[in-house]
Amino acid sequence: MQSDPTANSAAPAAASAPRPFAGWALRTALLLEGQTGVKLVEPLLGAGNQRRAAAFMALAAWHAPSERHAEIFSDLKPAEFAGWLLEEDPAEMAELLSERCHDPQTLARLGEQPLSDPADYWIPPGALLH
């Protein structure tokens, strides 16, 4: 089975058009950019669906952390989080954050746009796709 070579990449693919995103995810990414100097928005515009989905999930956990996410991120500085968001394997990010939505195919289906509410990432994945 062929896989998308850009799925895990935060770098824009040469042939893919930028896909903007907005709302809480854009605000959170811009806030992190301002705090850290690490560019997040531009790499995510052209990233593959798996990377985008994992990044949106991570931004949701950073934006409105549950008790579990607050514990996971407790020792991370914003710059470390930003680097992790761009470099970590998307499936591993999703597994760490949700324990339910780390299957690459399911994850890729969530990568077009951020969900409207960050809390929606923590409901069962089957409910998100209907």
Task: For residue range 89-118, list pLDDT tens digits in order.
Answer: 998 998 888 866 667 777 777 778 898 999
Residue 95's Cβ-count burial label (10 Å; 0-12, 13-18, 19+) is middle
User: What pLDDT sits at residue 120?
Assistant: 86
CA atoms 63, 76, 124, 51: torsion sign: positive
Write down the pLDDT at residue 44. 95
* pLDDT recorded at residue 7: 46
pLDDT of residue 2: 38
Nearest by Cα to 53 from 119, 12, 7, 2: 7
Cα pseudo-dihedral 85, 91, 92, 96, rounded to 10: 90
Largest CA distance in the chain: 41
The low-confidence residues of the chain, meaning pLDDT below 70, are 1-16, 99-102, 124-130
